[in-house]
C-alpha cells in the first residue's frame, strides 16, 4: 500500500475546515441564545481536552492508527469487529454531513432540484478526491482555506458596513445565568463538532513531522474554535437571538442581510458555496476514516472502496431521514447520546486502557514475541 | 472499467438531461418589484403584484407602453396566491427582487401577523424590503400609480424612501425583519411608514400620468403608522416620524427650523448626530434618559445675528437645542398618552441595561412605558455657517 | 471480487525497464568488402535518391571513395577543404595501416571533428547526419567528416512570448544555435548538455541541459530514464517529447513548460530545473514545471518588483476570468437572479427580450463561433487576415446582436474571457482554460453556480493530484512552502529571493549570500554612523 503523508500545514487546514464544516452551516450552541458565544468559548477548552486525549491515545504507539491500535489492544478478530462498527459510524456521520449540505442547498438555492442530485454530485467529488488520496484532500483543503478566511473577513466587513450588525444585541450577557450555557455545552457542543475529532485518529499517524503534531492540532482547534466563536458572535449581532433560533441555517440568514448601496445584495448564494468547502472536507475526512476501516479489514488499499462507499453515503444521506425535522431531531436527540458518547469517548477510553495494559505487560516481560511496537 | 465508464456516462447524461430543475430563462420571467396585500372580500386576502415590463424601463428599448403590470388575486394564503396570480400573468414571477410591500389600512387594522410568516420563510423573497401602510387607500391602488423616473411605484417608493431617510428622515427605515424583531423581542412595538395617494387613483393608473408635469396622482410619504402587536393603532405625523428616527439613532442628516426671534426662523442642517439611551427601573417606574448629540451648520436665517463671534454660535445653538428637545419630548409624550405602545424600544434598552428588573415587568411593559419618566437631553454644536459669516440682512438699506 | 481484482490489476505500477539501449547496432564490417561492393551496398541502401553522390578519387596513392548526401552538406566547404587537402597529392606518404590513416587525419583534419568509423551502419547514419565519408581501399576504417549545412533561420524575436523589456532573441530550429544561446547566457563550467537520439525513423537530436551541482540528480536521472524509454518512430517537435515524458497524459494542463526565450530557460536552469532541447524546433521544454511557472514570465524580473507583482496578479485574475465568466453568466442568469442588482437584472432582461435561445445555447453558440474565428485567424493566409477580422468583429458580433439572435451583453461576455485568455504567457496553459470553459458552461446550465463550484473543486483536486517529474504541480502553494511564497502571487525584490525552490530539492539551495536591500550612502550630517 502506498505510503501517504500530509504536512503539518495540511493537517492544520484539514482541522479548521473539518471543525467549521457543518457546524458553521447549522449553527451550534443555539440553546444558550444570546450567550451561545460563551458556550462556544467554553467548548473550545473541552476541544483542547478532547484533542489531547486522542493525541495521547494515538501517540502510545507511533505510526499506528485507531484500527491498528485496536489490533494491539484487542487482537485482530475483535479489532475487525470494532473497526467495522467505526466504519459504519463514520460513514453515517459522512451521510449526515452530506444531508446537512443537501438540505442547505435544497432550501436555500436550488429548491426544486432533487436532493439526490446534490448528494450524488458532492459524493462523486468526494470519491474522486479520496480516490486520488489523502494527500490530494490535504492540498485541496490547503488551497481553499485562505478563501474561507477571506470570506469570513469579507462578510464581517459587509455586515458592519451595511449597518446590519448591532453590537448591543449581545446584551445582556449571561442575563439568565449560566444554566442555558451549560445546557448548550453538555453534551451537544462537546460532541459536535469537537468530539468528532475522533476521525483524526486516522489521520494523525500519517503526518510528517509527528513531533509538532500536537502543537499544530491544538492550534487548529484553537483557530477553528475562534472562528466558530466569531461566526456565532457575528450571527447574534446581525440576526438577534430570536431570529438566530428560528433560522435553520443561521449563517445563511445573516448573509442575506447584507445590502450595500443597492449593489452588493443577496450574497447568500455565495455564502453557500463557501460553506460547501467545509462540508467537502468534513465529509471527505469522515469518509476517509470509514474507508480506512475497510482497508484494515480487507487489507486492500482504501482507494478501491472510495467510489462504491461514496455512492452508499450518497444514498444513505437521502435515506437516513424522511424530512428536515426528522433529520434535525435525530441529530440533536439521538446521535449525541447513542452514537457520539460511546464512539467518541467510551470505546477510545477502553482502548487506551487496553493498550496501556498491554504495553506495561510487554515492558514487564521483555523478549516476549508478538506485538511489534 | 470501460463498461463502468460508459455506464456512468449514460447515467450522468440521463440525470443531467432530465435536469435543469431550477432553471428559469430570463425570457420566461417577470420580475416582481412590489406587492400589496389588502383585505379580501370573500377570502382573507387580496394579493396584488406588480410585475415589471423591463423593456419599458430601459431607455433604449422603451416605447411608451405601461411600465408594469399589476394584477390581483384573492385567497386565504399568500403562499398560494403568489403562484395563483399567474392566472392573469404570462411568465414565471420572480420575487427575489421585491422592494416594497404595501398593506392596506383596512387589513392593517385587523392584524397582519398571519401572512408575514410566509415572507420570512420564503427563500426567494429578501428580508429587507420596505414595508408600508397605504393610508386611506387600498394597497393595490398605490401599486398602480405610475411615475416619471422609475416608472413603477414600488421602485419609486424604494428610492424615494431611501432618499428621504438620508436627507431628512421621514421614513422610519423599517424593513420586514425589523417588524418581526419588534414582535418577537420584548420591549418594542413595530412602526411602519405610511403612504397616501395624492390625486385621483384612477387617473394615476395609466402611462399618461407619467407624461404630465404635475401628475394626476402621486404617491406621497404621509406619516408613521404605529402598531400595537400586529394591529394598526394610529398615525403620527412626518415630523414625529423624524423624531422617532432621532431617538433610534438612525438620522443620517436632517434639517430643523428653530425660532431665533419672534416669528423669525433659522434653518439648520444637522449632519452628524448620535443618540444614546439609558434606561432603568426604579421602584417599578421606568426612567429613560435620552442623550442626543448633534452637529449642525446654519443654512439660512431670518435674524440679524452676526456669526463672527463664538458667542452667537452658542446662543443659536442653545435655541436649536431647545427646539430639538421640545420636539422629541412632545413626540414621546404623544405616543405615551395617546397610544401607550412602546414603539421606541425603550423596553429593549431597559432589558439590556437592567435585565433583572425588566424580567419582572416583561409582560406589561407597555403600561410601564405609558407612565415612564422620560428625559431628553440634547447637545447641539453649530460648526459653521455656510459660505457667509455676516448676513446681508443688516446691510439692507 | 473480480471487480476488485481488475481494479488491482489496473493500479499495478508499470515497471519500466532500466536498461539503456545501444544507439547504434554494429553492421557488417568494412574489412570484408572491397570498394566496389561497398559502393553497391550504399547504393542499395539509399536506392534511387537523387542527392546521393559517390565520387571515386585517388589520394595518398590509394583508391578512395567519397560519399555524401549533396543536400545535407555544405558543398562549398567540401570543395575548399577536403578536395584541396586530399585529392591528387603524392608526397611519398603511404597509407597502409590504420595508424597511417589516423596520423593523416590528425595532420589534415585535426580540429575539424573527424571520426573513424568501422561499421557499415555507422556510415549510413553519418551520411544522414550530414557527414561526408571517405572510404579507402583495403582499410578497416572509414573517415567521416562533419560538413553539415550551416543554413539556418537567423535569430529573431520570439513570436509567441514577446516582451517589452528584455532580450529580444529567441530560439531557432537549429539545436546547436540554441545551445550556444544558452551557453552565452550562462558562462559556467557546470552547465551540462547530454545528447539523446530519439525516434527510430527520424533520429532526432534531443539534448538535456542542466546545472551540475545544482539540479537534483534524481530528477535528472528521471529525465534521462524517461527519454531513454521513448520508442516512437518520429519526433518533430518538443510537444511530442512533452507528451511522451509527462507523468500523466489524461489532463488538459501542460506538465512541462515550453518557451522560445533563452533568458527564461537560462533562469530556470539556474533554479535547478532541466531543459530539454529538440532539434528542429524553437520551443524548449523546461521540467519539472509547476503551475506557478505558467504565470510568471522573465519580464517580471526585469521591471520594478511592484509592477511585476501587479502584472502577475492580473495574470492569475485573467486566467480565472477566462475560465469562469461565461459559466457565471449562464449560472446567474438562469438560476440565481437574486444575485444581480435590480437595475442590472432589468437591463439584461430588456436586452434579452426577443432573443430566441436559452442563455446556455446563446453562450455556446458565441463561444464556438469565437473559437472558429480564432482558429481561422491563426491558419488563414496573412493576406486575408484583415478580411476575417472584419467579418468576425462586424458580422458575427454586431450583426448577430442587431438581428436579435444574441443579446448585446453576450458579446461582452464572450469578448472578456477571450481577451483574458490571451494574457496567459504560455499558450498551452491558456488552452486548458479554453477547454475547461466549455465543461463549466454545460454544467452550470444544469446546476447553476453549484455546478460551477463542483467543477472548480474537481479541477483543483485534479491539479493537486498532478505531478511533474515527481514534483507536486501546485507546489509551493499546496504543499505550502512559506519560503517560496516570495515568487508566487507576488514577486519580491530580487535581493530577497535567495533560495532556490525547495520543491525541487536542489543540491545547492541558496542562490547567493544574504545581502539585504540596497540603501543610499549615509548623509554627511548623519550622526548615527
Question: Would residue B7 count as lying in a domain?
Answer: no
Distance from CA of A176 to the nearest CA of B (A): 9
Q: How far apart are CA C413 and CA A285, in angstroms?
A: 38
DSSP secondary structure of C357-409: S-HHHHHHHHHHHHHHHHHHHHHS-GGGHHHHHHIIIIIIIIIHHHTTSS-HH
Both B206 and B245 in a single domain?
A: no
pLDDT tier at C91 (50, 70, 90 boundaries)?
low
Lowest-confidence segment of C83-87, C217-221, C355-359 by average pLDDT: C83-87
| A139, A280, A304: residue with CB nearest C464 | A139
Question: Would residue C217 count as lying in a domain?
Answer: yes
B126 interfaces chain A, CB cutoff of 8 Å: yes
pLDDT tier at C94 (50, 70, 90 boundaries)?
low
Give the residue from C418, C436, C471 where a domain finishes: C471
Q: How far apart are CA A365 and CA A358, in angstroms?
A: 11
Both B271 and B388 in a single domain?
A: yes
| A112, A168, A253: residue with CB nearest B22 | A112
Question: Is pLDDT above 70 for C1?
Answer: no
DSSP state of A332: I
**Residues B15, A256: C-beta atoms closer than 8 Å:** no
Nearest to A287 by CA among A308, A267, A258, A269: A308
Q: What was the pLDDT predicted at A364?
A: 73
Question: Is pLDDT above 80 for C444?
Answer: yes
Cell of A179: 444554566
Lowest-confidence segment of B33-47, C221-235, C349-363 by average pLDDT: C349-363
B19 interfaces chain A, CB cutoff of 8 Å: yes
Question: Would residue B19 count as lying in a domain?
Answer: no
- Number of domains observed in the structure of chain C: 3
pLDDT tier at C18 (50, 70, 90 boundaries)?
very low
pLDDT tier at C12 (50, 70, 90 boundaries)?
very low
**Domain around B358:** 238-397
Question: What does the pLDDT look like over A247-304, one tens digit per residue?
Answer: 888 888 888 888 777 777 777 777 887 788 889 999 999 999 999 999 999 999 998 8
Q: Which residues pair with C195 in a beta bridge?
A: C207
Chains with at least 3 CB pairs less than 8 angstroms from chain B? A, C
**Residues C337, B31: C-beta atoms closer than 8 Å:** yes
Question: Would residue C400 count as lying in a domain?
Answer: yes
Both C96 and C181 in a single domain?
A: no
C302 burial (CB, 10 Å; 0-12 / 13-18 / 19+) is middle
Question: Would residue C4 count as lying in a domain?
Answer: no
Question: What does the pLDDT look like over B100-142, one tens digit per residue?
Answer: 999 999 999 988 888 888 888 888 888 778 899 999 889 999 9
Chain A interface, Cβ < 8 Å to C: 7, 9-10, 105, 109-110, 113, 117-118, 121-122, 125, 128-129, 132-133, 135-136, 138-140, 142-144, 262-263, 265-267, 269-270, 272-273, 276-277, 280, 300-301, 303-304
Question: Would residue C521 count as lying in a domain?
Answer: no
Which chain B residues have a beta carbon less than 8 Å from that of A114? 21
Question: Would residue B17 count as lying in a domain?
Answer: no
Could you tell me the CATH number of the domain that includes residue B248?
A: 3.30.300.210
Which chain B residues have a beta carbon less than 8 Å from that of C7? 1
CATH of domain A8-350: 1.20.1740.10
Distance from CA of A277 to the nearest CA of C (A): 8
**Residues C461, A128: C-beta atoms closer than 8 Å:** yes
Both C108 and C255 in a single domain?
A: no
Judged by DSSP in three states, C499 sits in strand
Which chain A residues have a beta carbon less than 8 Å from that of B180? 243
Both B181 and B254 in a single domain?
A: no
For residue B362, the tally of other CB atoms under 10 A from its CB is 15
Both C309 and C457 in a single domain?
A: yes
**Residues C458, A125: C-beta atoms closer than 8 Å:** yes
Q: Give the angle subtended at the CA of A226 by the CAs of A224 and A229, to the nearest 5°.
A: 110
Both C233 and C320 in a single domain?
A: no
| Reported ipTM exceeds the 0.95 cut | no
Q: How far apart are CA A321 and CA C257, in angstroms?
A: 51
Q: Average of pLDDT values for C328-337?
A: 90
Both B256 and B339 in a single domain?
A: yes
Which chain A residues have a beta carbon less than 8 Å from that of B96? 266
Chain C interface, Cβ < 8 Å to B: 6-7, 10, 333-335, 337-338, 342, 345-353, 355, 358-359, 445-448
Both B230 and B307 in a single domain?
A: no
**Domain around C107:** 35-146
Lowest-confidence segment of B207-221, C32-46, C169-183, C201-215 by average pLDDT: C32-46
Which chain C residues have a beta carbon less than 8 Å from that of B16? 446
Which chain C residues have a beta carbon less than 8 Å from that of B52? 346
Q: How far apart are CA B196 and CA C349, in angstroms?
A: 31
Both C312 and C419 in a single domain?
A: yes
Which chain B residues have a beta carbon less than 8 Å from that of A168? 352
Q: What was the pLDDT predicted at C150?
A: 67
**Residues B123, A108: C-beta atoms closer than 8 Å:** yes
Nearest to B161 by CA among B252, B68, B49: B252
Both B322 and B355 in a single domain?
A: yes
Q: What was the pLDDT predicted at A241?
A: 82
A256 interfaces chain B, CB cutoff of 8 Å: yes
**Residues C478, A105: C-beta atoms closer than 8 Å:** no
**Residue numbers in chain A where pLDDT is lower than 70:** 1-2, 365-373
Both C324 and C404 in a single domain?
A: yes
Which chain A residues have a beta carbon less than 8 Å from that of B181? 240, 242-243
Question: Would residue C134 count as lying in a domain?
Answer: yes
Q: Which residue of A has its CA nearest to C451?
A: A121
Q: How far apart are CA A70 and CA A371, in angstroms?
A: 12
Both C134 and C237 in a single domain?
A: no
Q: What was the pLDDT predicted at B18?
A: 66
Cell of B343: 414603539
Cis peptide before A193 (omega within 30 of 0): yes
| A107, A242, A253: residue with CB nearest B181 | A242
Both C465 and C345 in a single domain?
A: yes
Question: What does the pLDDT look like over C34-68, one tens digit per residue?
Answer: 778 888 888 888 888 888 888 887 776 677 888 88
HSE at residue C143, side-chain half, CA atoms within 13 A, is 28
Both B171 and B231 in a single domain?
A: yes
**Residues A10, C479: C-beta atoms closer than 8 Å:** yes
- Number of domains observed in the structure of chain B: 2
Both C317 and C348 in a single domain?
A: yes
Distance from CA of A118 to the nearest CA of B (A): 11
**Residues C353, B29: C-beta atoms closer than 8 Å:** no
Interface test with C, best of A127, A139, A299, A311 (most C CBs within 10 A): A139
Interface test with B, best of A102, A106, A113 (most B CBs within 10 A): A113
B20 interfaces chain C, CB cutoff of 8 Å: yes
Give the residue from C263, C289, C315 where a domain finishes: C289
**Residues B21, A114: C-beta atoms closer than 8 Å:** yes
- The 3-class secondary structure across chain B, one letter per residue, is CHHHHHHHHHHHHHHHHCCCCCCCCHHHEEEEEEEEEEECCCCCEEEEEEEECHHHHCCCCCCCCCCEEEEEEEECCHHHHHHHHHHCCCCEEECCCCCEEEEEHHHHHHCCHHHHHHHHHCCCCCCCCEEEEECCCCHHHHHHCCCCCCCCHHHHHHHHHHHHHHHCCCCCCCEHHHHHHHHHCCCCCCEEEEEEEEECHHHHCCHHHHHCCCCCEEEEEEEEEEEECCEEEEEECHHHHHHHHHHCCCCCCEEEEEEEECCEEEEEEEEEEEEEEEEEEECCEEEEEEEEEEEEEEEEECCCCCCCCHHHHHHHHHHHHHHHHHHHHHHHHHHHHHHCCCCCCHHHHHHHHCHHHHHHHHHHHHHHHHCCEEEEEEEEEEEECCCCCCCHHHCCC
Give the residue from B236, B256, B274 where a domain finishes: B236
Q: Which residue of C has its CA nearest to B96?
A: C338
Interface test with A, best of B128, B150, B187 (most A CBs within 10 A): B128
Give the residue from B191, B215, B236 where a domain finishes: B236
Q: Average of pLDDT values for C452-457?
A: 91
Question: Would residue B10 count as lying in a domain?
Answer: no
Interface test with A, best of B4, B8, B13, B21 (most A CBs within 10 A): B21
Q: What percent of chain C has pLDDT over 70?
A: 89
pLDDT tier at C14 (50, 70, 90 boundaries)?
very low
Question: Would residue C451 count as lying in a domain?
Answer: yes
Which residues 466-505 in chain C show a CB within 8 A of chain A? 472, 474, 477-480
Which chain C residues have a beta carbon less than 8 Å from that of B19? 446-447
Q: What was the pLDDT predicted at C124?
A: 85
Q: What was the pLDDT predicted at C23?
A: 41
pLDDT by 10-residue block (mean), chain B, 397 residues: 76 69 86 92 92 85 84 91 90 89 91 87 84 90 87 87 87 85 86 90 84 88 88 90 89 89 88 90 88 90 80 88 91 89 88 86 85 90 85 77
Question: Would residue B9 count as lying in a domain?
Answer: no
Backbone CA torsion sign across C103, C109, C114, C117: negative
C175 burial (CB, 10 Å; 0-12 / 13-18 / 19+) is buried
Both C117 and C183 in a single domain?
A: no
Q: What was the pLDDT predicted at A84?
A: 92
Which chain C residues have a beta carbon less than 8 Å from that of B55? 349-350, 353
Q: What was the pLDDT predicted at A216?
A: 92
Question: Would residue C371 count as lying in a domain?
Answer: yes
pLDDT tier at C20 (50, 70, 90 boundaries)?
very low
| A9, A132, A273: residue with CB nearest C453 | A273
Q: Which residue of C has its CA nearest to B51?
A: C346
Question: What does the pLDDT look like over C109-164, one tens digit per residue?
Answer: 766 677 788 788 888 888 888 888 888 877 778 888 887 776 678 888 888 888 88
Interface test with C, best of A6, A140, A271 (most C CBs within 10 A): A140
Amino acid at each position: 500500500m502506498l505510503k501517504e503523508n500530509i504536512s503539518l500545514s495540511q493537517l492544520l487546514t484539514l482541522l479548521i475546515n473539518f471543525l467549521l464544516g457543518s457546524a458553521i452551516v447549522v449553527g451550534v450552541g443555539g440553546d444558550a441564545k444570546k450567550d451561545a458565544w460563551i458556550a462556544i468559548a467554553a467548548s473550545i477548552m473541552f476541544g483542547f481536552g478532547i484533542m489531547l486525549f486522542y493525541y495521547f491515545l494515538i501517540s502510545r504507539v507511533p505510526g499506528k492508527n485507531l484500527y491498528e491500535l485496536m489490533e494491539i489492544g484487542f487482537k485482530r478478530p475483535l479489532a475487525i469487529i470494532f473497526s467495522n462498527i467505526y466504519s459504519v459510524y463514520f460513514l453515517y456521520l459522512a451521510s449526515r454531513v452530506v444531508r446537512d449540505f443537501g438540505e442547505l442547498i435544497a432550501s436555500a438555492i436550488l429548491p426544486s432540484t432533487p436532493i439526490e442530485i446534490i448528494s450524488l454530485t458532492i459524493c462523486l467529488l468526494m470519491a474522486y478526491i479520496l480516490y486520488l488520496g489523502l494527500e490530494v484532500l490535504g492540498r485541496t483543503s490547503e488551497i481553499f482555506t485562505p478563501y474561507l478566511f477571506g470570506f469570513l473577513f469579507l462578510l464581517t466587513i459587509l455586515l458592519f458596513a451595511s449597518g446590519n450588525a448591532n453590537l448591543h444585541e449581545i446584551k445582556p450577557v449571561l442575563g439568565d445565568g449560566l444554566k442555558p450555557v451549560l445546557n448548550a455545552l453538555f453534551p451537544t457542543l462537546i460532541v459536535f463538532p469537537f468530539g468528532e475529532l475522533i476521525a483524526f485518529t486516522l489521520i494523525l499517524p500519517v503526518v510528517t513531522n509527528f513531533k509538532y503534531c500536537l502543537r499544530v492540532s491544538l492550534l487548529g482547534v484553537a483557530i477553528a474554535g475562534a472562528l466558530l466563536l466569531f461566526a456565532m458572535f457575528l450571527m447574534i449581532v446581525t440576526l438577534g437571538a430570536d431570529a438566530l433560533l428560528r433560522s435553520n441555517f443561521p449563517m445563511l440568514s445573516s448573509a442575506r442581510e447584507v445590502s450595500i448601496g443597492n449593489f452588493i445584495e443577496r450574497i447568500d448564494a455565495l455564502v453557500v458555496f463557501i460553506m460547501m468547502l467545509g462540508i467537502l472536507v468534513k465529509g471527505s475526512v469522515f469518509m476517509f476514516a470509514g474507508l480506512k476501516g475497510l482497508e484494515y479489514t480487507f487489507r486492500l488499499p482504501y482507494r478501491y472502496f472510495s467510489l462504491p462507499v461514496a455512492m452508499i453515503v450518497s444514498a444513505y444521506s437521502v435515506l437516513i431521514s424522511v424530512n428536515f425535522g426528522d433529520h434535525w431531531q435525530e441529530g440533536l436527540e439521538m446521535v449525541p447520546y447513542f452514537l457520539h458518547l460511546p464512539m467518541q469517548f467510551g470505546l477510545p477510553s477502553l482502548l487506551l486502557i487496553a493498550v496501556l495494559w498491554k504495553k506495561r505487560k510487554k515492558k514487564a516481560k521483555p523478549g516476549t514475541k508478538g506485538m511489534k511496537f | 472499467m470501460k463498461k463502468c465508464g460508459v455506464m456512468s456516462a449514460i447515467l450522468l447524461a440521463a440525470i443531467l438531461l432530465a435536469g435543469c430543475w431550477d432553471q428559469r430563462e430570463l425570457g420566461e420571467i417577470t420580475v416582481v418589484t412590489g406587492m400589496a396585500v389588502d383585505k379580501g372580500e370573500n377570502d382573507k386576502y387580496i394579493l396584488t403584484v406588480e410585475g415589471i415590463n423591463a423593456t419599458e424601463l430601459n431607455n433604449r428599448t422603451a416605447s411608451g407602453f405601461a411600465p408594469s403590470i399589476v394584477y390581483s388575486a384573492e385567497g386565504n394564503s399568500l403562499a398560494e396566491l403568489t403562484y395563483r396570480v399567474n392566472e392573469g400573468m404570462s411568465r414565471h414571477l420572480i420575487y427575489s427582487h421585491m422592494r416594497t410591500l404595501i398593506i392596506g389600512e383596512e387589513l392593517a387594522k385587523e392584524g397582519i401577523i398571519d401572512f408575514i410568516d410566509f415572507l420570512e420563510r420564503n427563500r426567494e423573497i429578501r428580508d429587507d424590503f420596505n414595508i408600508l401602510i397605504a393610508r386611506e387607500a387600498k394597497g393595490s391602488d398605490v401599486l398602480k400609480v405610475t411615475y416619471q423616473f422609475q416608472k413603477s411605484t414600488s421602485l419609486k417608493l424604494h428610492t424615494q424612501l431611501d432618499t428621504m431617510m438620508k436627507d431628512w428622515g421621514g421614513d422610519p427605515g423599517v424593513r420586514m425583519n425589523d417588524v418581526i424583531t419588534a414582535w418577537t423581542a420584548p420591549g418594542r412595538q413595530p412602526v411602519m411608514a405610511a403612504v397616501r395617494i395624492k390625486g385621483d387613483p384612477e387617473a394615476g393608473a395609466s402611462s399618461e400620468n407619467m407624461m404630465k408635469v404635475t401628475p394626476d396622482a402621486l404617491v406621497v410619504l404621509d406619516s408613521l403608522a404605529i402598531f400595537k402587536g400586529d394591529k394598526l393603532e394610529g398615525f403620527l405625523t412626518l415630523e414625529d416620524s423624524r423624531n422617532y428616527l432621532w431617538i433610534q439613532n438612525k438620522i443620517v442628516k436632517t434639517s430643523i427650523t428653530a425660532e431665533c426671534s419672534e416669528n423669525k426662523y433659522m434653518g439648520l442642517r444637522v449632519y452628524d448626530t448620535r443618540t444614546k439611551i439609558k434606561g432603568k427601573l426604579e421602584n417599578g417606574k421606568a426612567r429613560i434618559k435620552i442623550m442626543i448629540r448633534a452637529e449642525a451648520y446654519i443654512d439660512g436665517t431670518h435674524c440679524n445675528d452676526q456669526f463672527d463671534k463664538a458667542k452667537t454660535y452658542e446662543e443659536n445653538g442653545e435655541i436649536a437645542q431647545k427646539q430639538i428637545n421640545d420636539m422629541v419630548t412632545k413626540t414621546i409624550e404623544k405616543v405615551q398618552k395617546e397610544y401607550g405602545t412602546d414603539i421606541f424600544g425603550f423596553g429593549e434598552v431597559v432589558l439590556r441595561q437592567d435585565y433583572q428588573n425588566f424580567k419582572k415587568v416583561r409582560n406589561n411593559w407597555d403600561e410601564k412605558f405609558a407612565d415612564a419618566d422620560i428625559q431628553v437631553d440634547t447637545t447641539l454644536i453649530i460648526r459653521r455657517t455656510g459660505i457667509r459669516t455676516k448676513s446681508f440682512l443688516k446691510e439692507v438699506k | 471480487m473480480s471487480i476488485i481484482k481488475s481494479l488491482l490489476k489496473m493500479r499495478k505500477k508499470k515497471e519500466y525497464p532500466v536498461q539503456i539501449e545501444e544507439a547504434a547496432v554494429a553492421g557488417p564490417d568494412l574489412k570484408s568488402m572491397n570498394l566496389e561492393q561497398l559502393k553497391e551496398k550504399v547504393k542499395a541502401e539509399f536506392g534511387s535518391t537523387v542527392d546521393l553522390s559517390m565520387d571515386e578519387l585517388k589520394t595518398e596513392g590509394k583508391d578512395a571513395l567519397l560519399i555524401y548526401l549533396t543536400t545535407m552538406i555544405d558543398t562549398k566547404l567540401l570543395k575548399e577543404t577536403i578536395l584541396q587537402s586530399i585529392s591528387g597529392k603524392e608526397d611519398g606518404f603511404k597509407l597502409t595501416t590504420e595508424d597511417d590513416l589516423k596520423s593523416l587525419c590528425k595532420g589534415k583534419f585535426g580540429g575539424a571533428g573527424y571520426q573513424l568509423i568501422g561499421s557499415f551502419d555507422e556510415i549510413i547514419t553519418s551520411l544522414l547526419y550530414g557527414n561526408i565519408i571517405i572510404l579507402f581501399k583495403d582499410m578497416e576504417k572509414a573517415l567521416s567528416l562533419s560538413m553539415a549545412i550551416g543554413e539556418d533561420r537567423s535569430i529573431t524575436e520570439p513570436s509567441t512570448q514577446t516582451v517589452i523589456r528584455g532580450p529580444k532573441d529567441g530560439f531557432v530550429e537549429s539545436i546547436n544555435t540554441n545551445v550556444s544561446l544558452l551557453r552565452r547566457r550562462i558562462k559556467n563550467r557546470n552547465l551540462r548538455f547530454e545528447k539523446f537520439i530519439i525516434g527510430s525513423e527520424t533520429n532526432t537530436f534531443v539534448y538535456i541541459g542542466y546545472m551540475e551541482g545544482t539540479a537534483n540528480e534524481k530528477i535528472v536521472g528521471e529525465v534521462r530514464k524517461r527519454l531513454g524509454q521513448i520508442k516512437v518512430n518520429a519526433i518533430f517537435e518538443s510537444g511530442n517529447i512533452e507528451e511522451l515524458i509527462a507523468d500523466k497524459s489524461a489532463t488538459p494542463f501542460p506538465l512541462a513548460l515550453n518557451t522560445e526565450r533563452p533568458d527564461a530557460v537560462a533562469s530556470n536552469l539556474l533554479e535547478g530545473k532541466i531543459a530539454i532541447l529538440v532539434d528542429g524546433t524553437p520551443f524548449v521544454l523546461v521540467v519539472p514545471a509547476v503551475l506557478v511557472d505558467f504565470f510568471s514570465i522573465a519580464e517580471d524580473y526585469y521591471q520594478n518588483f511592484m509592477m511585476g507583482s501587479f502584472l502577475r496578479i492580473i495574470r492569475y485574475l485573467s486566467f480565472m476570468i477566462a475560465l469562469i465568466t461565461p459559466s457565471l453568466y449562464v449560472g446567474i442568469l438562469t438560476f440565481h437572479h437574486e444575485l444581480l442588482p435590480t437595475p442590472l437584472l432589468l437591463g439584461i432582461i430588456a436586452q434579452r427580450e426577443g432573443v430566441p435561445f436559452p442563455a446556455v445555447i446563446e453562450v455556446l453558440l458565441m463561444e464556438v463561433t469565437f473559437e472558429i474565428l480564432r482558429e481561422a485567424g491563426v491558419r488563414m493566409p496573412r493576406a486575408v487576415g484583415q478580411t476575417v477580422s472584419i467579418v468576425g468583429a462586424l458580422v458575427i458580433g454586431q450583426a448577430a446582436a442587431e438581428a436579435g439572435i444574441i443579446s448585446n451583453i453576450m458579446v461582452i461576455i464572450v469578448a472578456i474571457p477571450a481577451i483574458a485568455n490571451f494574457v496567459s504567457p504560455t499558450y498551452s496553459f491558456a488552452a486548458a482554460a479554453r477547454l475547461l470553459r466549455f465543461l463549466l458552461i454545460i454544467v452550470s446550465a444544469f446546476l447553476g453556480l453549484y455546478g460551477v463550484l463542483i467543477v472548480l473543486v474537481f479541477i483543483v483536486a485534479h491539479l493537486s493530484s498532478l505531478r511533474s517529474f515527481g514534483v507536486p504541480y501546485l507546489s509551493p502553494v499546496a504543499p505550502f512552502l512559506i519560503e517560496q511564497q516570495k515568487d508566487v502571487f507576488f514577486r519580491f525584490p530580487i535581493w530577497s529571493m535567495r533560495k532556490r525552490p525547495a520543491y525541487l530539492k536542489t543540491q545547492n539551495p541558496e542562490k547567493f549570500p544574504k545581502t539585504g536591500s540596497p540603501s543610499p550612502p549615509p548623509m554627511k550630517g548623519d550622526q548615527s554612523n
